[in-house]
Amino acid sequence: MSRIRGGHNFYQIRLSDQKITASREMVDILLALDLNTIEIHRKSVNEGGFILYDSEIAKKKFEEPEFIDIPFRKIALDVGKNSVMANTVAIGAALGILDLGLEALKKILIETFSRKGEEVVQNNIACAEAGYKYALTNCPKCEAFGIREPEGKRLMIITGLQAIAMGAIMSGCKFYSAYPMSPSTEIMEYLASRAEEYNLVVEQAEDEIAAINMAIGASFAGVRAMTGTSGGGFALMVEGLSLIGMTETPLVIAEMQRPGPATGFPTRTEQGDLLFVLHAGHGEFPRVIFEPGTPKQAFYLTNRAFELAEKYQIPVFILSDQYLAESEWTFEELGSEKLIYNDYRLREEDLKDVEDYKRYKFSSTGISLLAVPGEAGKHLVVADSDEHDEEGHIVEDSETRIKMVQKRLLKKLPLIKKEIEAPFLYGDPSPKIVLVGHGSTYGVIKEVVDTIPKDKKAAMLHFSQIYPFSERDRFDYIGLLENADLTICIENNATEQFAKLLRSETGFEFSHQISKYDGRPFTIENLKEELHAYI
């Protein structure tokens, strides 16, 4: 969670030599840098686990067997000549207990502290080594974990936000305007850090209204653009969204949810904005919503978002939440081979056979040629938020209105629907139990399915291309649900938003619902516990 320098702050790391995709409730090692941490998290330590602490810092001595008292502060002072390095000692100690070696940590210490000079780097390394040794010597019973670094595989470590931002760069996004808001800000920070390398324009707008209108202006002028925010900021962008609908300006919008209403829980997680994003904007216009389940999906769906936004000249959302956005995941495979890039914007040479260019010319698909103003020879590009004629000029007549609604909405909808991929089925191919989720619950549902005995015939059905729903002729996921005995929709919100959406679009009603709205993500333990009542 994102406290700055005050308050209680913690970080949970789960590691395994097997593939893992979710967080756990309980921990094996609690590394406590103050007494408060011990008091809050002590109950989350597994039987057989350890609490590493410094009785001098905590000003309290614990006698229970799980406590290992390590003089973080004293070692830091003795070895590093500065008590601030107590945390480096502590990390060294944790690695010692896991017997994982110090090479990786040393690399990080060099990267992190080299700008502070060689002495700081060397003192930190010495602290890490001292902590490591101390733990090895004083905790002989800690070998039980037995985790080994996987051999031969290169793993990447990435957050959902980084995957989205990298996906944007690799999809040709050249312009990003936003207003800082947790948990979306890192997209802007990432893009700003790459602005020089890839010639990106990243602008911090005066408010979210300006942010979306800037992105629209850049897109209208001919560059791939994107904006990003969280629920409250998106609320300010809503009129701009409607402007995209009317002017048919391609735009990708990242909405990183946090619990509302209003300021809510700024640094916690929830899937509470799904129906808001779906219904936002006055008037009727098409949109696509993607809600990735992993950073890998976030990367590829961001690429797909740019493709669909430009192909159909519509807004496309990357909807995610604080949990996926800010969690760091390791992956083996993320490649540029499967990325798509089609430039749908037309310049003078592309338009040489067009005699009389009209920005909103009627067509069988509803899609009109997207010319770049100023780069299209003498052709003029006119966009209007009023109802307009084919040229883009304001009109009042009902005949044009009807044709324009058909053009920008009704003709495009079935074509967009065809682009949407089916939900992902994991587990039994003809399941009796189906756990259904969307977005960031992917990992936890998947791992929980693995824990259900095979003879129960359980599966996960996960939606990441969430709206519009994909056509059933590709994969009859509704038939699959209808054939199951138990269908449980799992959501990080209080009002069963996805279940409502699926029901309104397909008529299917889940047999059960599990909702979690405490601002925390599902963990393997608490989802299993919730499921216990049904399975």
Partner 1 sequence: MPTSEDYKSQVPAWCPGCGNFQILSTIKQALIELGIEPWEVLVVSGIGQAGKLPHYIKCHTFNGLHGRTLPVATAAKLANHSLHVIAVAGDGDCYGEGGNHFLHTIRRNPNISLFVHNNQIYGLTKGQASPTTAEGTYTTIQPYGVLQEAMNPLAMAISQNCSFVARGFAGDQEHLKELMKAAIKHKGFALLDILQPCVTFNKINTFKWYRDRVYRLGDDYDPYNRNKAFEKSLEWGDKIPNGIFYKYEREIFEERVPAIQEKPLVRQKFSLEEVKHEIEKFY
Size of the chain in residues:
535
* Alpha carbon distance 317, 228 (integer Å): 9
Q: Is 217 in the site for partner 1 (CB under 8 A)?
A: yes
> How far are the Cα atoms of 73, 177, 213, 229, 439 from residue 208, in angstroms, in the given order?
45, 9, 8, 8, 24
What SS3 class is residue 200? coil
Across 276-297, b (16+ Cβ under 10 Å) vs e yields bbbebbeeebbbbbbbbbbbbb
Q: Which element (helix H / strand E) includes 28? A: strand 27-31
In the list 354, 383, 415, 425, the residue contacting partner 1 (rule: CB under 8 A) is 383
290, 304 in Cβ contact below 8 A?
A: yes
Q: Is 240 in the site for partner 1 (CB under 8 A)?
A: yes
Residue 65 Cβ vs partner 1, minimum distance, rounded to whole Å: 40
Residue 114 Cβ vs partner 1, minimum distance, rounded to whole Å: 17
Q: Which stretch binds partner 1 (CB under 8 A): 76-84, 236-244, 426-434, 449-457?
A: 236-244
Residue 113 Cβ vs partner 1, minimum distance, rounded to whole Å: 20
Strands of the 175-178 sheet, one edge to the other: 201-204, 175-178, 225-229, 251-257, 315-321, 288-290, 465-467
Q: Is 415 in the site for partner 1 (CB under 8 A)?
A: no
For strand 512-515 and strand 486-491, is the pairing parallel, antiparallel, or unpaired? parallel
Residue 264 Cβ vs partner 1, minimum distance, rounded to whole Å: 24
Q: Is 381 in the site for partner 1 (CB under 8 A)?
A: yes
Q: Is 214 in the site for partner 1 (CB under 8 A)?
A: yes
Residue 171 Cβ vs partner 1, minimum distance, rounded to whole Å: 9
- Ranges within 131-160 binding partner 1 (CB under 8 A): 154-158
Residue 486 φ then ψ, to 5°:
-130, 120
* Alpha carbon distance 478, 502 (integer Å): 10
Q: Is 300 in the site for partner 1 (CB under 8 A)?
A: no
514, 433 in Cβ contact below 8 A?
A: no
In the list 22, 126, 166, 445, the residue contacting partner 1 (rule: CB under 8 A) is 166
- Ranges within 327-356 binding partner 1 (CB under 8 A): 334-336, 339, 341, 343
Q: Given the complex with partner 1, which of 221 and 278 has the nearer CB atom?
A: 221
* Alpha carbon distance 186, 161 (integer Å): 6
Residue 379 Cβ vs partner 1, minimum distance, rounded to whole Å: 7
Q: Given the complex with partner 1, which of 13 and 394 has the nearer CB atom?
A: 394
In the list 50, 53, 67, 175, the residue contacting partner 1 (rule: CB under 8 A) is 175
Residues 516, 520, 525, CA angle at the centre, nearest 5°?
75
In the list 20, 236, 275, 382, the residue contacting partner 1 (rule: CB under 8 A) is 382
Residue 159 Cβ vs partner 1, minimum distance, rounded to whole Å: 10
Largest CA distance in the chain: 87
Q: Given the complex with partner 1, which of 217 and 266 has the nearer CB atom?
A: 217
8-state DSSP, 337:
T
Q: Given the complex with partner 1, which of 219 and 487 has the nearer CB atom?
A: 219
- Which token pair is 321? 């939440």
Q: Given the complex with partner 1, which of 69 and 387 has the nearer CB atom?
A: 387
- Ranges within 176-195 binding partner 1 (CB under 8 A): 177, 194-195
250, 310 in Cβ contact below 8 A?
A: yes
Q: Where does 73-166 show beta strands of DSSP type E?
A: 156-159
* Alpha carbon distance 73, 56 (integer Å): 8
* Alpha carbon distance 149, 156 (integer Å): 14
Q: How many chain residues touch partner 1 (CB under 8 A)?
A: 67
* Alpha carbon distance 427, 433 (integer Å): 10
Q: Which stretch binds partner 1 (CB under 8 A): 17-25, 141-149, 282-290, 390-398?
A: 390-398
Q: Given the complex with partner 1, which of 213 and 523 has the nearer CB atom?
A: 213
Q: Is 209 in the site for partner 1 (CB under 8 A)?
A: yes
In the list 380, 405, 409, 425, the residue contacting partner 1 (rule: CB under 8 A) is 380
Q: Which residues contact 528 (CB under 8 A, 6 or more apart)?
A: 448, 451
In the list 232, 264, 377, 519, the residue contacting partner 1 (rule: CB under 8 A) is 377
Residue 322 Cβ vs partner 1, minimum distance, rounded to whole Å: 20
- The contact set with partner 1 (CB under 8 A) reads 154-158, 162, 166, 169-170, 172, 174-175, 177, 194-196, 198-201, 203, 205-207, 209-211, 213-218, 220-225, 239-240, 243, 247, 334-336, 339, 341, 343, 372-386, 392-394
